[in-house]
Chains A and B, each alone.
Chain A
Amino acid sequence: MFESIAITGISLISALGDDPAALLAAWHDGTSGLSPTGVDELPGQAPVLCGRINLDFTQRLGGTGWRHYTRSSLMATLACRNLMTSLADASVWKQREEIGICLGYNADASIHLFFSSFFSTLKTKSYRWINPTSFLNISNNAPASLLSLQHQCRGPIFTVTTGFASGLDALNLSATVLQGGHAPAMLVGACQEINPELLESFANLPGENNGGILGSLPRGGVIAGEGCAMLSLEKLSPSDHGRARAWVLGYGEALNLPDQNTDASAAVALAVQNALADAQIRLEDIHAVFLSANGNNLQDTAEATALRGLFGRRCPPAVALKGAWGECYHAGSAMSAAAAVLCLEKGFLPPTLNLAPGYDAEALGLSTRPQTVPAGNILLLSLDRDKKAVALILNLPRKDRAVC
């Protein structure tokens, strides 16, 4: 169990923008952030739906010198800047020397760019010089290191690369670092940019939508997205408890240890049970569930089976946010955590968009329109295909708040 570890700030960038007020309005109105890819974006292929961020990052960040940095780094920079602006009044964030950073990230987009450049040009023409920045961008720790440089944070620094679970793993790791007294505060999050290879990889995932929660692409496959969430985590003293926007209660994970392509529902259920045990609460204490569901039938079916097995007919209200912004891979679960705090602070659960045709939403407690939900304990889930399941439980302190 984590003691007094709180989320004190949130910044979220998705296909629905980076303004919290606009995001809440979009959720309330059921606005989708999905849009088709450009005509020539996927060579030789028809456009597919994706959750692309339509922000000019360099313009938003201002200044010069951004052209060598990856879209992920720019995303993380903007998200972190937005977050730090919101935290400016809290004294702990003025003591940067000890503050730590933890980012869920994989440099897949940079690796693809560098590889194609390397094997098509550099090697064949025997160039003996490469751009140091583009080379360093293939290192997974580049965005986290950039954030530490920009904000002069000299505390612990971690880059976590555990696929779909990267975001929740980063939150768990950061809470552990705080619990151990290694930093007074952590900047934690995850980022993921869209690139042609990722779009195509998700489009090629088996997804005939036989039992999937979210709708898939017309020819099967998952709708990819991009995004970044940054959260500030602090170990709060009792006098500071009022600054908590949410408390980190417990973490659990489980592997689907049998061979691949087997049903991972047992792993999902075990992850939830481990998280409940860690948080020292009961299943009936969960007030809302933020699903991992992304339209992949294998994943969605395992998740739904596990939840029905656990909760029976009394599933708490649930939402699958990826219906609105796509599967953001490494960033997806951190975005889910940030979104959970944002909307439940306002006392509502957004609707699940792009629900699979004919899916029995009611059986899983899925919201199909904005739904009033009291503050309380939130269960966040992340499932890495048929392999690793992660559950994180947050608690939102009950306050008087507007209900939608």
Chain B
Amino acid sequence: MEDVYVTGLGIVSPLGHDTPAFWEALVQGISGVGPVTRFETDWLAAHIAAEIRDFPKPSPFLTPEEAQNPFAGEWLILSAGREALKQAGLLTEKKQSSKPDLEIILGSNQGDFVPQLEKRVRALETTEASAIRRAMVPMMLSESAFHELLLKLARRLNAGGVECILSNACSTGAYAISLAAERIRQGKTEAVLCGGVEILSEVVYAGFSCLRALAPACCQPFDLHRQGIVFGEAAAAFMLESKSSVLARGAQPLAKIAGWGWSSDAHHLSAPHPEGRGMALALQRALKLSGLKPGQIDCLVAHGTGTLSNDRVEAAAFLEVFGKNPPPVTAPKSMVGHSMGAASAVEALVGVKIVERGIIPPTMNFQTPDPDCPLDCVPNTARRRAVTYCQTNASSFGGNNVSIIFGPPEL
């Protein structure tokens, strides 16, 4: 089996349009949350989100022609993907992959299909249901189809290897990264560009608002008075390579992927297992694959949505796996919001940076400890700490759980 290394990272987020800007803001505890500008929310109970602003503007990762296009997920993941390729030393002058057989594995729940559908429907002069349904017809098998996001990215990067798009709801980004790692581990390929992307959708936002799952003011993971999710949007990309590839190219890895674990709650379509059984299984399976003991994990990057049930259940899973004193836990959604299909990839990127920099970003908006969540959440201020291994946790509607462990980049 091959060891798997991270050789490049890329991100477009509400906190910045590349990894250095994102990380700097995250460590400083800057919030990306503000009023929703993309659509009207006056009829809803919530009005805030972490939107990506001023993108695309002149960018080192998009051509001037590409940067002219309207805001869409395809440009976010293209920019993030090229940033990751560039850091790995695999981006050509034509902004394409220097590996023609590069594989791409993405996670997304809507691609650009749902947001484009919304635009199309908003442009209609009718609210008649059958007219709205007819408006969708030209999109289904066209360039707007869900998986076109992946195919367009592959074409722009001239990447001709295996391509796959996963749609495991909120955990799908980390599913994509770990599946990519698995393919490299088995020697099926030597390099995969992977990650997640999602942009804000009115229908999904309104749906969660109607389900009373959105917070009115801010996201407060693990706080006693947490009130729910704050939506966000992002694209996060990883360049993963086998040890052989890293050695052959003389590349400088950022981290090693030490292990990953997948599980299903098999409990409920929307509620997590009350004792965090599924999450604990994924965490334990990742530890088992890595050969590490729970005590060797120095930091946890939480799913931390800020909902009452998720945070309580996640804390229970951490206590189950790590005992009474789990390692410090950070919850990036307190600053970047919940970017659904991209969220777990964003959090995985945070995991790599923690190992690389030895700084744990804060969990912001934390004021009152919750007795049901007895965790060290690194409240409100970043903490310097040597981190050898950092483990992430992600879950989703339907209980699709995934955990990834990042370790030092020694070859």
Contacts and interface: CB of A to CB of B under 8 A. Distances in A.
A196 B399 contact: no
Interface string A124-137: 10111110110110
State which size class the interface on A falls in. Answer: 35 or more
Interface stretch (A75-83, A112-120, A365-373): A112-120
A176 B141 contact: no
A101 interface: yes
Nearest to A143: B398
B397 A139 contact: yes
Nearest to B43: A126
B319 interface: no
Given A156-B263, A176-B188, A197 B136 contact: yes
Contacts of A128: 44-45, 210
Interface stretch (A8-16, A146-154, A308-316, A343-351): A146-154
Interface string B192-206: 000000000001101
A157 B147 CA distance: 19
Interface string B262-293: 11111111100000011001000100000000
Given A140-B169, A141-B167, A198-B140, A123 B206 contact: yes
Interface stretch (B178-186, B240-248, B362-370): B178-186
B132 A180 contact: no
B353 to A, nearest CB: 27
Interface string B217-246: 000000000000000000000000000000
Nearest to B42: A126
B34 interface: no
Contact of B167 (A114, A117, A119, A160): A160
Contact of B154 (A156, A161, A173, A255): A255
B128 A120 contact: yes
B199 to A, nearest CB: 16
A154 B266 contact: yes
B90 interface: no
B114 interface: yes
A33 to B, nearest CB: 22
Interface string B153-172: 01100111011111111001
A136 B117 contact: no
Given A116-B129, A180-B186, A255-B155, A162 B150 contact: yes
B262 A145 contact: no
A118 B168 CA distance: 23
A163 B147 contact: yes
B146 A139 contact: no
Contacts of A117: 129
A96 B281 CA distance: 14
A4 B130 CA distance: 50
Nearest to A182: B262
B137 A153 contact: no
A118 B203 contact: yes
A387 B169 CA distance: 25
B150 A127 contact: no
Interface string B102-127: 00000001000110010001000001
B330 interface: no
Nearest to A111: B114
A179 B186 contact: yes
Contacts of B344: none
B165 A162 contact: yes
B211 to A, nearest CB: 6
B193 to A, nearest CB: 14
Interface in B31-55: 43-45
A145 B264 contact: yes
A141 B396 contact: yes
B163 A177 contact: no
Contacts of B206: 118, 122-123
A177 B278 CA distance: 18
B43 to A, nearest CB: 4
A153 B140 contact: no
Given A122-B206, A139-B398, A155-B264, A180 B185 contact: yes
A127 B136 CA distance: 23
A157 B262 CA distance: 7
Enumerate the 9 nearest inter-chain pairs by beta-carbon distance, A residue then B residue, closest first. Answer: A145-B398, A156-B262, A140-B167, A201-B140, A157-B264, A148-B264, A120-B129, A116-B129, A126-B43
Given A135-B210, A388-B163, 5 more contacts: A116-B129, A116-B133, A138-B203, A149-B399, A160-B166
7 contacts: A100-B262, A111-B136, A115-B132, A138-B203, A139-B109, A149-B268, A204-B137
